[in-house]
Amino acid sequence: MTAPTDLLQLALRSLPHGPEFRFVDRLTSLEPGKTGVGEYLVRGDEYYLRGHLPGEPILPGVLLVEAGAQVAGMVAQEDPANPSLPRLKLTALRGVKIFGSARPGETLTIEATITGRLGLMVQAKVSASISGVKVMTAELTLSGTAAAGPAEGNSVS
């Protein structure tokens, strides 16, 4: 399901990361609380690519997983049946498989499906692909904490 553009933009703005640590440029679809799809263009000027295989830069596999966590967090935070989770963070990984990598100029398609929710925890299955070829799959847990204090905000991962 593709959500209205304003909902997609609102969900993307809920991502608390600064630009240097965002691995989602845009959401292409969102079914709040259930599933979402985002995209990230590996530009090539990212600071961490300078040292990750100089001369043949690739997006580190752990950042593929982070991209999945960010999309899963946005899907979970937009769930109309549940309150937003303060300080949502990536807290567990299972079955992570990295089949390939993303290079400058390639666009990742990141999919996340919420598979369960219990209290402050969210379970999700995530994947990333390039031109229809899967490069990562994982199951992960995101966890929130008790209500944030005045100086604390929400975060995903």
Domains of the chain by range and CATH? 5-143 (3.10.129.10)
Q: Is 52 a catalytic residue?
A: yes
pLDDT of 154 reads: 47
What mean pLDDT do residues 107-120 have? Answer: 97
What mean pLDDT do residues 31-37 have? Answer: 96
Kindly report, residue by residue over 40-61, the tens digit of the pLDDT. Answer: 999 999 888 888 888 889 999 9
Mean pLDDT, the chain, rounded, equals 88
pLDDT of 89 reads: 92
pLDDT of 106 reads: 98
What order of strands is seen across the sheet that includes strand 107-118? Answer: 26-31, 35-41, 107-118, 121-130, 133-143, 89-98
Q: What is the largest CA-CA distance in the chain?
A: 48
pTM of the model: 0.86
Residue 83: pLDDT above 60? yes
Of the candidates 17, 22, 34, 52, the residue annotated as catalytic is 52
In this structure, are residues 135 and 53 in contact, taking their beta carbons and an 8 Å threshold? Answer: no
Residue 82: pLDDT above 60? yes
